[in-house]
Amino acid sequence: MRTYAAIDLHSNNGVLTVIDENDRVLKQKKLANKLELFVAELEPFRTTLQGVAVESTFNWYWLVDGLLKHKFPMMLVNTAATQQYEGLKHSDDDYDSWWMAHMMRLGILPTGHISPGATSGPRSAAKASEPGPAADGQHPERSEPGAKEPGNENLIE
């Protein structure tokens, strides 16, 4: 059996969905943004996972980097390229995470390149200028998603 996972990530939580090759939902759960919670929920599927998709939102790097360190097959979803499917998407997080996993299963999930976390120029500069995830993997709350932060003035948006 092949499985496909996706995470609809937000500032303080993420909805994880794991489906099989028939689009049957095997796991769907809203989790606090703590790396160890995502690892624990994905671990039972490790041997069958074809990928774990995470939307390229303002706070994706801590989760993708953490899951890569745990040797999960990661995919960074190109959200700009998925806009053409917007009319087909429902507006809830459960469906959004299922939709990404479904598109991965079909082989049509638009993805972007994941640079190595420790050496990826702008990303490492952004990490250095902000508090970043706590040691337990939790992403700190921000007052406004995408807000300009001191030290990030030279980053390309």
How much is the pTM?
A: 0.73
Indicate which CATH number applies to the domain containing 103. Answer: 3.30.420.40
The pLDDT value given to residue 140: 44
Q: 8 lies in a domain? A: yes
Q: Outline where DSSP puts E strands in the chain.
A: 3-9, 13-20, 25-32, 49-55, 74-77, 111-112
Task: Give the C-alpha separation, 149 to 137, whole Å.
Answer: 21
For residue 42, give its domain range. 3-112
Question: 1-12: b or e for each residue (b if 16 or more CB lie within 10 Å)?
Answer: eebbbbbbbbbe
More confident residue, 131 or 5: 5
Question: How far are the Cα atoms of 10, 27, 53, 85, 114 from residue 18, in angstroms, in the given order?
Answer: 18, 5, 10, 20, 21
Q: Considering only 7-11, 92-96, 124-128, which range has the smallest mean pLDDT?
A: 124-128
Q: 66 lies in a domain? A: yes
Q: 22 lies in a domain? A: yes
Q: 148 lies in a domain? A: no
Phi and psi, residue 15, nearest 5°: -100, 120
Convert the pLDDT of each residue in 120-142 to its tens digit. 445 554 554 444 454 444 444 43
Nearest to 39 by CA among 52, 23, 55, 58: 52
Q: 124 lies in a domain? A: no
Tokens of 89: 């998407």
Convert the pLDDT of each residue in 22-61 to its tens digit. 999 999 999 999 999 999 999 999 999 999 999 888 889 9
Q: 139 lies in a domain? A: no
* Total length of the chain: 157
The pLDDT value given to residue 17: 98
| Count of domains observed in the chain | 1
Q: To 5 degrees, how large is the angle CA 71–CA 76–CA 80?
A: 175
The pLDDT confidence band at residue 2, using thresholds 50, 70 and 90, is very high
Q: 90 lies in a domain? A: yes
Question: How far are the Cα atoms of 17, 102, 153 from residue 33, in angstroms, in the given order?
Answer: 15, 23, 26
